[in-house]
Structure 1
Amino acid sequence: MDQLSAMRVFTRVVETGNFSKAANSLKMPKTTVTTAVQALEAHLATKLLNRTTRRVVVTTDGALYYERAARILSELDELDGSLSSSQAQPSGKVRVALSGAFADRIIMPALCDFHTRYPKIQLEFDIGDRIVDYVAENIDCALRAGTPSDQSLVARKVADLELRTYAAPIYLERMGLPRHPRDLEKGHFGVGYMKAYEGRVFPLMFRKGDEEVEVRLDYVISVNEFRSYMAATVAGIGVAQAVAFTVSDYVDRGELVEILPDWPREPIPLYIVYPQTRHLSNKVRVFVDWLAKKLQEAQRCELRHDTSLRAKAEG
């Protein structure tokens, strides 16, 4: 038995969910795929997969073996690439966990640029703010706001995010324009935002000079996903805080209005994180560097946009 080949076949079966799809992706007969997995199970003296008529289910031992095998194969591919001409042109899959706000506003509009630079890299995105198991889910890196508390992660700070406060015109017509953060406590509502793994709604925070104000508003709805958060705010349900460059399109279209502009929230650090146990491969490194540059460009662009709007308003 060629154990390395059998490992590749087994991991592909797990990733595709059945033998037929694995055989098609590997361009080999289904019987060859079946034989390779059976030989691997015999070699390991344990059952890796439970077969049914419709799909395969990974056993407990199979899940553990897949986790290690996928990592070994990834590192082996990277090692081969580092000793060949592919070092100048990294290749392979990069799995990234990040929120929809950054996916929509930063990555998607610039994907053609990344693909032109690195045509052999495939990006796979896990969109949302849920907690992820980096090893079990084979996540290479993640974009996370706030200082990471998990000491098993390596964190690279890429930006400081200044959150501002927004509301829809129809909401302000109904509730009035606040002049001070404490005015929000006089009957206003918020759109609640919470991280899935924390299970609590974040308060609105304001800062002006040395003065800081925390406001906890009643909310009609709370969500843990950016698109829904913005949809509720645009609908006039309540007040929300968001990073300026993630909502600039809503402001330009007149769907949202910045309120209390002299009271921004204390900047929140933004990090790219990855497990200490995972070697930062060349393909991941070039993506991380590219993403950091795009985030910095987005902030500079938003600063110019904001300066221009304020100049027009004062003029």
Structure 2
Amino acid sequence: MDQLMAIKAFARVVEAGNFTRAADSLDMPNATLSKMVQELEAHLGIRLLQRTTRRVTVTPEGREYYEKTQRILHDLDDIDASFNVARSRPRGALRIDVGGSTASEVLIPALPDFIARYPDIRIDLGVADRAVDLISDNVDCVIRGGPLDDSSLIARKIGEATLITCATPAYLKHYGVPAYPDELKNGHRLISYLSPQTGRPFPFRFERGGEKTEIKAEYRVGVNESNAHLAAALAGLGIVQTFTYATAAHIDAGRLVEILAPWRPARYPFHVVYPQNRYVTHRLRVFIAWLQEIFPARVGR
């Protein structure tokens, strides 16, 4: 038995939540992975995983073994990296998850620069506004905006975006241009962004001179994907609050008009997030450094 490989295989099952996803991520047959874990259990004389036809759960002994061996694996990876990074180019697949408008307006237009710098890294890009499970979905990192509540994840701030409120010229001609946020409650049509997780609308937020207010008026249209959210505004369906990086070209072309400019809300933080118990590969390190370099200017418009 290759004990080191068996430990890595066991760890991947714990992280992925089942043998099938773990085997796929390691590019090995399911039967081979299962045999490696069984041999490791026989070697240790303990049961690491409890298997049923529907799920795999980690035993208390398995959880303890996982946590202790992860520290060893991380130390080994750091030792290897200290010798290899200086003379090798980062290579391999990097799986990234990012929201719709951030992908189309910020990340994808900048990717040619990253690929030119690191031609041996392959990008697997998952685009959706919904949250993913980084462990079970085998995602290296996600790019997300807003507050972060999950303490099991590590977050690196990569920039701050500006939110604006806007609508089409035709809409404003028909319904009028509001001068104060409270006017949105009276006769205006709002396009709300709906949480992909809960379905609840995010309120329209405003701030001026330290004064903050939120508008939770009934919306006419709700959308749970950021590109479609903006498309609804461009169709003249109502007033939208979204990021300047998504609207800049439309504002410049006159397709959208900013309103309530003195009431722009506080800048919106963006982070790159990854699991704290997973080794940070060379390719992920350079990707994070690249994001911190290019992201502020691209979202801060």
Bin for the TM-score computed over the shorter chain:
0.7 to 0.9
Contact (CA 8 Å) 1:94, 1:140: kept in 2 or not? yes
Residue among 56, 63, 70 paired with 1:60 = 56
> 2:187 is matched with which residue?
187
List per-residue Cα deviations over 1:234-292 (Å, max 9, x = no partner).
11111111111121122223221111112101222222222221222221111111112
> 2:15 is matched with which residue?
none
> 2:289 is matched with which residue?
289
1:49 shift after superposition: 11
Contact (CA 8 Å) 1:188, 1:217: kept in 2 or not? no
| Structure 1 counterpart of 2:227, one-letter code | R
> 1:148 is matched with which residue?
148
Contact (CA 8 Å) 2:160, 2:296: kept in 1 or not? no
For normalisation by structure 1, the TM-score amounts to 0.73
Q: CA RMSD in A?
A: 3.7
**Quick one: structure 1 residues 147 and 80, their matched pair in 2 at CA, closer, same or farther if it must change by over 3 Å?**
same
Aligned: 1:199 with 2:199: yes
> 1:104 is matched with which residue?
104
> 1:312 is matched with which residue?
none
> 1:250 is matched with which residue?
250
**Quick one: structure 1 residues 125 and 86, their matched pair in 2 at CA, closer, same or farther if it must change by over 3 Å?**
farther
CA distance in 1: counterparts of 2:277 and 2:107, whole angstroms:
26
Aligned: 1:277 with 2:277: yes
**Quick one: structure 1 residues 158 and 85, their matched pair in 2 at CA, closer, same or farther if it must change by over 3 Å?**
closer
**Quick one: structure 1 residues 16 and 253, their matched pair in 2 at CA, closer, same or farther if it must change by over 3 Å?**
farther
1:164 shift after superposition: 0.8
List per-residue Cα deviations over 1:2-41 (Å, max 9, x = no partner).
6888999999x946999xxx9xx89xxxxxx688468558
1:177 shift after superposition: 1.3
Point out where structure 1 has 5 or more consecutive residues left out of the alignment: 27-32, 51-56, 303-315
CA distance in 2: counterparts of 1:8 and 1:279, whole angstroms:
12
> 1:83 is matched with which residue?
83
| Structure 1 counterpart of 2:182, one-letter code | R
1:160 shift after superposition: 2.3
Would you identify which runs of 4 or more consecutive aligned residues in structure 1 move more than 3 Å?
Answer: 1-11, 13-18, 33-50, 57-62, 74-83, 85-88
CA distance in 1: counterparts of 2:276 and 2:57, whole angstroms:
24
1:139-178 → structure 2 map (5 Å cutoff): 139-178=139-178
Point out where structure 2 has 5 or more consecutive residues left out of the alignment: 13-18
CA distance in 1: counterparts of 2:137 and 2:87, whole angstroms:
26
Aligned residues: 281
1:32-43 → structure 2 map (5 Å cutoff): 36=32, 40=36, 43=39
1:219-258 → structure 2 map (5 Å cutoff): 219-258=219-258
> 2:267 is matched with which residue?
267
**Quick one: structure 1 residues 84 and 159, their matched pair in 2 at CA, closer, same or farther if it must change by over 3 Å?**
closer
1:182 is paired with a residue whose SS is: helix
Moved more, 233-242 or 36-45: 36-45
CA distance in 2: counterparts of 1:258 and 1:124, whole angstroms:
35
| Structure 1 counterpart of 2:271, one-letter code | Y
1:217 shift after superposition: 2.6
CA distance in 1: counterparts of 2:299 and 2:196, whole angstroms:
26
Contact (CA 8 Å) 2:77, 2:279: kept in 1 or not? no
> 1:121 is matched with which residue?
121
1:199 shift after superposition: 3.1
List per-residue Cα deviations over 1:34-73 (Å, max 9, x = no partner).
88468558747999999xxxxxx996379x9xxx8xx99x
